[in-house]
């Protein structure tokens, strides 16, 4: 069940909200006032409360997969979202909790946990994307959601089951847990060596695909006015912008089915709807194919995650947007350097094969941006 495409979509939505996002989602599903089985409407309400939007057909498919006579089994859905802790990871978590629960009573006072928590070792804190105070409060908002002032072994384990769903490597998972609750000084610095100085999301595959986080390649075959198509190959940089890269890759393969717009999440058959010959090519509107639609594998829009990759040369692949945190399926291929887009658009790759053909397509543009020739993506996928 953990590999079901709708479950993976919900998991990705949780990961977007940080390493505790899935845990918070699971807590919302297991709220004390909710029954062990949810109706379709109750499930929709719980998911919506955590920012997860499913199309009606996706919700029906999920309910059919999880449904029992009484309704959707909450425990089964939570287990699928977390994927469960492997034996290796469970041992790491149990060891960490045992070191905190010196009395062996199965719970730890929240005040004691707060004193032991080393928020400065949070990966996002170490790279300057979050303050230690914010990281500290976020962790305890997740661990002590009921405000009881204590955290049980089960709550501690459930929290790290949610964290586990967004971390690919067993080694990195152990480093994150041990650095958060382990000793200070050199021991902690050594434990954090796997991610020190790096952006934490580069260790996540977002959808837990198991792919290498370094680089991957996708292709698009473009046809101008129905002429013989030519393929352009893109190198994506998931280590720099994992959400944007996974979105583009999955839209090239078409593996995610239908989006919230009701249209296929697939670039194949779409057009390049805007061309400014001295600027860029723009396409990929899976919702309306005219630049006015918005959809993605994460929902209608998703957030800006990184501005590390610069718009420094022709061939840079970047996200089209309508303002901050409005990324969707639409992309731009730069025809020249555009440094004024740095810090505004999330660039996530570049053309590595057939840039000459990209410039040829660029000549099909106009001052208004309306193409003078029809350019179609006749095929696309992952190399």
List, for residues 197-226, the tens digit of each pLDDT value.
333 333 344 333 334 345 789 999 999 999
Q: How confident is residue 36, by pLDDT bands cut at 50, 70 and 90?
A: confident
As a whole-number percent, the residues of the chain with pLDDT over 90 amount to 38
Of 30-44, 163-177, 287-301, the poorest mean pLDDT is in 163-177
What burial letters (b/e) apply to 336-345, b meaning 16+ CB within 10 Å?
Answer: eebeebeeeb
Identity of the highest mean pLDDT range in 75-89, 244-258, 333-347: 333-347
Q: What is the mean pLDDT of residues 186-202?
A: 39
CA-to-CA separations, 157 to 116, 121, 277, 343, in angstroms, rounded:
17, 20, 55, 38
At residue 123, the pLDDT reads 63
pTM above 0.75, yes or no: no
Helix (H) or strand (E) holding 357: helix 355-362
Residues in the chain, total: 383
Helix (H) or strand (E) holding 63: helix 56-66
At residue 28, the pLDDT reads 77
At residue 78, the pLDDT reads 74
Helix (H) or strand (E) holding 157: helix 153-164
pLDDT at 127 over 90: no
Mean pLDDT of the chain: 81
Q: What is the mean pLDDT of residues 58-73?
A: 74
Q: How confident is residue 359, by pLDDT bands cut at 50, 70 and 90?
A: very high
Structure tokens at 300: 């209608």
At residue 223, the pLDDT reads 96
């Amino acid at each position: 069940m953990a590999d079901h495409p709708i479950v993976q979509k919900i998991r990705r939505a949780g990961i977007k909200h940080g390493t505790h996002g899935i845990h918070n989602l699971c807590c919302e599903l297991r709220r004390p006032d909710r029954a062990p089985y949810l109706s379709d409407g109750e499930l929709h309400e719980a998911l919506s409360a955590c920012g997860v939007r499913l199309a009606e057909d996706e919700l029906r498919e999920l309910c059919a997969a999880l449904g029992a006579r009484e309704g959707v089994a909450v425990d089964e859905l939570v287990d699928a979202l977390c994927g469960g802790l492997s034996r290796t990871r469970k041992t790491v978590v149990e060891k960490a909790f045992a070191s905190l629960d010196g009395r062996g009573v199965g719970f730890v006072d929240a005040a004691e946990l707060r004193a032991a928590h080393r928020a400065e070792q949070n990966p996002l804190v170490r790279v300057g994307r979050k303050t230690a105070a914010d990281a500290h409060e976020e962790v305890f908002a997740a661990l002590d959601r009921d405000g009881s002032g204590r955290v049980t072994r089960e709550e501690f384990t459930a929290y790290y089951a949610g964290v586990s769903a967004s971390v690919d490597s067993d080694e990195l998972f152990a480093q994150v847990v041990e650095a958060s609750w382990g000793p200070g000084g050199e021991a902690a610095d050594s434990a954090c060596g796997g991610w020190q100085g790096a952006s934490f999301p580069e260790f996540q595959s977002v959808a837990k695909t198991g792919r290498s986080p370094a680089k991957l390649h996708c292709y698009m075959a473009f046809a101008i006015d129905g002429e013989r198509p030519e393929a352009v190959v893109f190198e994506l940089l998931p280590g720099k912008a994992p959400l944007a890269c996974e979105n583009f890759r999955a839209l090239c393969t078409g593996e995610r089915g239908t989006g919230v717009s009701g249209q296929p999440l697939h670039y194949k058959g779409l057009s390049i709807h805007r061309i400014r010959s001295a600027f860029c090519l723009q396409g990929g509107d899976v919702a309306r194919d005219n630049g006015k639609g918005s959809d993605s594998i994460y929902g209608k829009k998703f957030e800006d995650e990184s501005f590390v990759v610069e718009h420094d040369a022709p061939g840079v692949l970047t996200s089209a947007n309508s303002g901050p945190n409005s990324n969707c399926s639409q992309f731009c291929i730069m025809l020249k350097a555009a440094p004024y887009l740095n810090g505004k658009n999330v660039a996530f790759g570049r053309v590595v094969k057939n840039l000459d053909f990209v410039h040829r397509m660029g000549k099909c543009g106009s001052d208004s941006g309306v193409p003078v020739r029809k350019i179609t993506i006749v095929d696309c996928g992952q190399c």
